[in-house]
Chain A
Amino acid sequence: MNPMPASYLWLIPLLPFAGFLINGTLGRKLPRAMVSAVALLFTALPTGLVAWLWVTMRADGAPDAIHIVGRPFGYDWIAISGFHVDFAFAVDHLTLIMLGVVTGVGFLIHIYSVGYMAHEEGYWRFFAYLNLFMFFMSVLVLAESFLLLFVGWEGVGLASYLLIGFYFRKTSAANAGKKAFVVNRVGDFGFLLAMLLLIVHFGSLSFAQVFAAIGQHPEWQGARFLTAIALLLVLGAAGKSAQIPLYVWLPDAMEGPTPVSALIHAATMVTAGIYMVARCHTLFDRSPIALTVVACIGASTAIFAASIGMVQHDIKRVLAYSTVSQLGYMFLACGVGAYAAGIFHLLTHAFFKGLLFLAAGSVIHALSGEQDMRKMGGLRTRIPITFWCMSAGVFAIAGIPPLAGFFSKDEILYQSFNSPNPLGKLLWFVGLVTAGMTSFYMFRLWFKTFFGKPRFEEHGDASHPAHPIHESPWVMLFPLAVLAILSVIGGWVGIPASFGGHNEIVRFLDPVFANGHAAEAAASTGHGLGIGLALISVLVALGGFYVAYLFYWKKPGTAAELAKRSPDIYTVLRNKYWVDEFYNHFLVIPLQMFTRGFVELIFERGIVNGSARIAALTTRAFAWFTRRQISGNIRSYAGWLAFGAAAVIAVMVFGRSLWGGL
């Protein structure tokens, strides 16, 4: 096959954008089949292009990176007195993986949405937003500069906001959208400051130029300004990737339609923060403090979110907390310098978490909108295909070998154990505990949903008129099946050497992370340790399974009894550590008081309205004075005329001597 011309790269984001424009402007008038055809076509084509690009980059003698600069209308994008930003895309192996995930998983979820959204109002709007998201996400991963990345970064935030608030008539959905947007602004604030610092210290926002400059200055190791930039970038990443302290928006984001949760809030957008940290690994490697912060944020988010996830009843919320927790794993991986492991987990997580969300959507669809696991149960025989697909996802995320999640999670735990960071062992232990919790809450979900006695109303009630429990249509089952297969085999690209594999994905990413120290560290330690650690984590995963089995299958009352015996812990977990309440009382309400008291009363009414009123009064006074002059008396007009002429002459004659030649 011929190599792909570099200029075709533009098509990867532009095609979904065209789809957005078509569906966004004409969609309302078009029939549903046409809307879905447009949306699917304009995501299938970029997927094909990415596949072609993949072949091109893997061919012998292909360059490590492709770089193209766009000059729209023949102008540079931004060029101000020596400062210069190109509208440039770059593709290296990291981008390639991200593009594969975004377009591949994105396309599958588009297919699924055709079935899932079939009966919804605003069908065209949904697909327009979804295509818009694909556009911005491709820009984000293709960008060659911090600024263009930020364009995509904000754009996906916008798409996320629009899709969370898709059911905008529902107050909770509209509020969740706002919350996501506002919380992300806090992170963006960090990102923006980081960009300003980069301009100050490097005079450039191009990845290549900044990282080259860092590479040329070995004396910058641990420099304070690098740490500052890195920490501000971490703040941005924590906002987008839902890490402590900015994770609060993601669980609420579940108000959006389930395919959105799968695509944006599990597989792609929320991984943008991890992608960004991995992209800036040259920068982070120079700042041990920032790396430690990343690792600690990741590990604490992982265990924190997992503990909340153990007691949630809403099936989507369990998955949301699980996503936060898994993103914490990826952060942890980046923090110990194992960027490739982080990206590996990102890849497998996109498969199994996308699958879990889609399967959960299929369950919800079967139950006509029921999301509470207390009203499920026994669905194994009623919707068998969904059950089997979901099982693949559950076993994958729980870390049961040889499914995808086992290899990627194990790689992260292994790398943290071996990391030179003094906290490495502690981080490993936290990760291990989290793995046990993950296994527990996933099997809890599995047992509660698919096993036991049915706890739902067979023939519907007043709010949900009789819809028999039905398996989803094939358009929804096909993506489930594909993702289930990927969740099973997806981890095999990263079988570590200690299991006799080649760790393909780490080698694949070597051109990007070549100066990362993780790869060498992994190679230098013995195989026995790798197998030993893997054994421990498998045992922990099985332990989680066994506890869930005991609680929700063998003796169904145990969990409730345990909750009763230690009500404090249960209440704390059930209320999600009161973090939302804390933010509400200490940030939101004071901010609102400030807004109402100062901004509205003094600024809005006093300064803004006051100045408007003064302007109006001045105009009226002037008008009153002018109106006096229109007397209808010809001689008064003539008098003014004569006065004016005399004044002009006086200025001409005496002016020069009076004002000294002004």
Chain B
Amino acid sequence: MMVPTAYYLVLAAILFSIGIVSFLIRRNIITIFISIELMLNAVNLTFVAFAHMWHQVSGQIFVFFVMVVAAAEAAVGLAIIISIFRTRQTLNVDEIDLMNS
């Protein structure tokens, strides 16, 4: 049985929205980081769904790129988070507001 593309898209939209909302309301950097991953994977899901729908392999290849970039980003991001925690002893983003003039 074929699952319609729309189902994938709705699921992706729900995942993306959860990602956005948790990005906006959570204060912990680690949680924010996880919600970014959630949004990325929601987008990946749409890529795969459309690739399947149009029988095009390029969408799936794109997903691999996104995963590679996300892995690199996770490595760099976690390193930054650790260094922030070492200097400020907190992971609450509301307290990290150096740019506020």
Q: Which residues of A contact B (CB under 8 A)?
A: 627, 630-635, 638-639, 642
Q: How far is the CA of A633 from the CA of B92 in the complex (A)?
A: 11
Chain B CB within 10 Å — which of A627, A632, A639 has the most? A632
Asked if B93 contacts A631 (CB within 8 A), the reply is: no
Interface residue B101 (Cβ < 8 Å from any Cβ of A): yes
Interface residue B98 (Cβ < 8 Å from any Cβ of A): yes
- If A635-B23, A638-B24, A639-B24 touch, does A630 touch B93 (CB 8 Å cutoff)? no
Residues of B within 8 A of A639 (CB): 24
Chain B interface size band reads 10 to 19
Partner of A632, one of B23, B24, B25, B98: B98
A471 smallest CB distance to B (angstroms): 82
Asked if A633 contacts B94 (CB within 8 A), the reply is: yes
Q: How far is the CA of A642 from the CA of B39 in the complex (A)?
A: 12
Asked if B99 contacts A632 (CB within 8 A), the reply is: yes
Partner of B99, one of A630, A635, A642: A630
Asked if B20 contacts A632 (CB within 8 A), the reply is: no
Partner of A642, one of B24, B93, B98, B100: B24
Residues of A within 8 A of B97 (CB): 631-633
- In chain B between 1 and 59, which residues have their CB closer than 8 angstroms to a CB of chain A? 20, 23-25
Q: How far is the CA of A634 from the CA of B99 in the complex (A)?
A: 9
Residues of B within 8 A of A638 (CB): 23-24
Residue pairs across A and B with CB atoms within 8 Å: the count is 27
Q: How far is the CA of A634 from the CA of B92 in the complex (A)?
A: 11
Q: How far is the CA of A632 from the CA of B23 in the complex (A)?
A: 16
Given contacts A630-B99, A635-B94, 11 further A-B contacts (CB under 8 A): A630-B100, A630-B101, A631-B97, A631-B100, A632-B100, A633-B94, A633-B97, A633-B100, A634-B93, A635-B25, A639-B24
A487 smallest CB distance to B (angstroms): 84
B36 smallest CB distance to A (angstroms): 10
Q: How far is the CA of A475 from the CA of B98 in the complex (A)?
A: 83
B98 smallest CB distance to A (angstroms): 7
Residues of B within 8 A of A635 (CB): 23-25, 93-94
Closest chain B residue to A627 by CB distance? Answer: B101
Closest chain A residue to B25 by CB distance? Answer: A635
Give 5 closest A-B pairs by Cβ, nearest first. Answer: A632-B100, A632-B97, A632-B99, A634-B93, A639-B24
Closest chain B residue to A637 by CB distance? Answer: B99
Residues of A within 8 A of B20 (CB): 642
Q: How far is the CA of A346 from the CA of B101 in the complex (A)?
A: 79
Q: How far is the CA of A634 from the CA of B28 in the complex (A)?
A: 12
Q: How far is the CA of A181 from the CA of B101 in the complex (A)?
A: 58
Q: How far is the CA of A477 from the CA of B20 in the complex (A)?
A: 99
Q: How far is the CA of A344 from the CA of B33 in the complex (A)?
A: 100
Residues of B within 8 A of A642 (CB): 20, 24
Residues of A within 8 A of B96 (CB): 634
B75-101 vs A: 1/0 string, CB under 8 Å? 000000000000000000110111111
CB<8 Å pairs between A and B, sample of 27: A627-B101, A630-B99, A630-B100, A630-B101, A631-B97, A631-B100, A632-B97, A632-B98, A632-B99, A632-B100, A632-B101, A633-B93, A633-B94, A633-B97, A633-B100, A634-B93, A634-B96, A635-B23, A635-B24, A635-B25, A635-B93, A635-B94, A638-B23, A638-B24, A639-B24, A642-B20, A642-B24
